[in-house]
Amino acid sequence: MMPAYNKNRWVALYFISFMAIAFFFLMNLILAVIVNQYNEAATQRSKEHRVLAKDCLTKAYKLLDPHEVGWIDRRTVMELFRILKEDFPEFRHLSEEQGNIIFGLLARSHPSKVSKDEFMKLSNLLLLEFVRESDYSTWVERRYPEYFQSSQHQEFCNLVKSDYFEYAIDLVLLMNAMVAAMQSYPELSGSAASGEFLSISFTSSYAA
């Protein structure tokens, strides 16, 4: 490039355009082709997995319903969960309580029976992650449950969570900093007594 560039400076436009096309256009084109092929392959694998899951669930349902009555009961489904937990490491975390929850999600049409269409959703439900909510309760909730459920308490909680309450706290902190400055430098407030009075006032407001 340099001999040609020394002979004619306009030759640089060719190399600049070549680098721009190679690094930006062609590179983006190659990446787009790779990403597109990956997405198509992932979509195809997902379709194959859904077909395989449906086929396996259909075979499993036929084994659980050999007489073709059209449904399987709770005991059979819970026994299936027990076998899955014992034979497959992926389901070792599946407890009896979680099994009851999954059965409740499956059995939509009848509280103690699962139809074939409902059983087809089992593979998706087995992927659910169950998280137990904390049993923590506040002192007010334990000592005064009626007040905790009242509208006054809910309004008070909403007030504390609001932006206006946060702004008010910031204002109090700012004024407290000003009082601390007045105590350190009495000449700012005119007298030490006024600074002491303001300090007592803010201390009382915090205690309240």
Contact at 8 Å (CB) between 130 and 143? no
Contact at 8 Å (CB) between 141 and 148? yes
How many CA atoms within 13 Å lie on the side-chain side of 103?
A: 24
Write down the domain spans for the chain: 1-64, 65-131, 142-207
How many CA atoms within 13 Å lie on the side-chain side of 101?
A: 13
Q: What pLDDT was estimated at residue 152?
A: 86
Task: Express each pLDDT in 3-41 by its tens digit.
Answer: 655 666 676 677 777 777 777 788 888 889 999 999 999
Please give the Cα distance from 11 to 5 (Å, whole number). Answer: 6
Residue 55 has pLDDT above 90, yes or no: yes
Task: Express each pLDDT in 130-140 by its tens digit.
Answer: 766 666 677 88
Task: Express each pLDDT in 150-190 by its tens digit.
Answer: 888 888 888 888 888 888 888 888 777 776 666 655 554 45
Please give the Cα distance from 126 to 31 (Å, whole number). Answer: 36
Strand (E) or helix (H) holding 114:
strand 113-115
Q: What pLDDT was estimated at residue 208?
A: 47
Task: Express each pLDDT in 82-127 by its tens digit.
Answer: 888 888 888 888 888 888 888 888 888 888 889 989 899 888 888 7
Please give the Cα distance from 8 to 155 (Å, whole number). Answer: 79
Q: Quick one: how many helices (H) and strands (E) in the chain?
A: 12, 2
**Strands 71-73 and 113-115, how do they pair?**
antiparallel
Please give the Cα distance from 110 to 117 (Å, whole number). Answer: 13
Contact at 8 Å (CB) between 103 and 114? yes
